[in-house]
């Protein structure tokens, strides 16, 4: 198995089927991939929707509500792929995501990431987000790093560990992992193509827990011995970030 795509879902019945389809049906890639859905104890229609979706490459699990970190780590441990990408259940991959990841992959990089499109709750295009080339100083000043679309080497995750489970739904689980990796000298690669859609809506943790996330960021930077936590123009919630 080449790639495992992990979808974490909690009460996103409105988006889960679209997300799964975007991950299953990829174009122009010779990679063999699987899609693993971890339902983190959803109380809406998500379990019913998943029950009625059956594809050979789709694996489904339901766990007691544990938070995004534990749900993601559960999926990571179930993964069979040499590479792993997590996709939030309200986001979607574009059809050529795997094609471009495969064509840009070398053993020099521990993770790959791309530009993306921001969409609203109805799936309508809001803006394009263009990220800079890999730079550790820039990432340390970005204030976040999206989980959706970040492709990791499974071996890298095995060596350096998965998401920290210290704080449930901390809002910075993927950023904390990225900071640990680059702090250990792991190099990432930026792909200058929009390869996924990041959905912004009122239920995003980044919206509902914004003040707490900032406090979590301040605590994280202090713990890691970094400078003061801040966000730059490439933060996903900067309204003018990443434009060209």
**Residues 83-122: pLDDT tens digits?**
999 999 999 999 999 999 999 999 899 999 999 999 999 9
pTM of whole model > 0.75?
yes
Report the pLDDT averaged over residues 62-80. 98
Tell me the HSE value of 208 on the side-chain side, using a 13 A CA sphere. Answer: 8
Residue 216 near residue 167, CB atoms below 8 Å: yes
Tens digits of per-residue pLDDT, 174-184? 999 999 999 99
Residue 223 class from Cβ within 10 Å (0-12 exposed, 13-18 middle, 19+ buried)? exposed
Domain range summary for the chain, segments of one domain joined by +:
3-223
In CATH, what number does 3-223 get?
3.90.550.10
Would you say residue 218 has pLDDT above 60? yes
Residue 201 near residue 90, CB atoms below 8 Å: yes
97: phi then psi, degrees, rounded to nearest 5: -55, -55
DSSP strand pairing (151-153 vs 111-119): antiparallel
Q: How far apart are CA 119 and CA 82, in angstroms?
A: 30
Would you say residue 12 has pLDDT above 90? yes
Would you say residue 133 has pLDDT above 80? yes
Tens digits of per-residue pLDDT, 20-56? 999 999 998 999 999 999 999 999 999 999 999 999 9
Nearest Cα neighbor of 60 from 44, 81, 70, 74 is: 74
Would you say residue 244 has pLDDT above 90? no
| Dihedral, CA of residue 199, residue 200, residue 202 and residue 208, to nearest 10 | 110
Furthest-apart CA atoms within the chain: distance in Å: 49
Residue 16 near residue 46, CB atoms below 8 Å: yes
| Dihedral, CA of residue 63, residue 66, residue 69 and residue 73, to nearest 10 | -30
Calculate what percentage of the chain has a pLDDT beyond 90.
91
Report the pLDDT averaged over residues 136-143. 97
Neighbours of 92 (CB within 10 A): 24
Nearest Cα neighbor of 34 from 60, 52, 10 is: 60
Nearest Cα neighbor of 23 from 1, 47, 7, 39 is: 7
């Amino acid at each position: 198995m080449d790639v495992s795509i992990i979808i974490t879902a909690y009460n996103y019945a409105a988006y889960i089927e679209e997300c799964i389809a975007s991950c299953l049906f990829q174009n122009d890639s010779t990679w063999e991939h699987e899609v693993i859905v971890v339902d983190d104890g959803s109380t809406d229609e998500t379990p019913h929707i998943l029950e009625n979706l059956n594809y050979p490459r789709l694996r489904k699990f339901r766990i007691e509500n544990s938070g995004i970190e534990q749900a993601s780590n559960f999926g990571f441990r179930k993964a069979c792929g040499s590479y792993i990408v997590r996709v939030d259940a309200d986001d979607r991959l574009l059809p050529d995501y795997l094609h471009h990841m495969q064509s840009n992959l070398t053993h020099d990089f521990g993770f790959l990431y791309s530009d993306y499109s921001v969409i609203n709750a109805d799936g309508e295009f809001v803006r394009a987000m263009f990220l800079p080339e890999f730079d550790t100083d820039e990432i340390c000043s970005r204030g976040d790093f999206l989980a959706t679309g970040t492709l990791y080497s499974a071996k890298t995750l095995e060596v350096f560990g998965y998401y920290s489970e210290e704080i449930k739904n901390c809002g910075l689980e993927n950023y904390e992992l990225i900071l640990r990796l680059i702090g250990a000298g792991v190099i990432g690669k930026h792909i200058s193509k929009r390869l996924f859609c990041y959905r912004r809506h009122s239920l995003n943790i980044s919206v509902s827990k914004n003040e707490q996330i900032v406090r979590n960021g301040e605590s994280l930077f202090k713990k890691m011995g970094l400078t003061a936590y801040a966000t730059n123009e490439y933060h996903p919630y900067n309204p003018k970030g990443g434009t060209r």
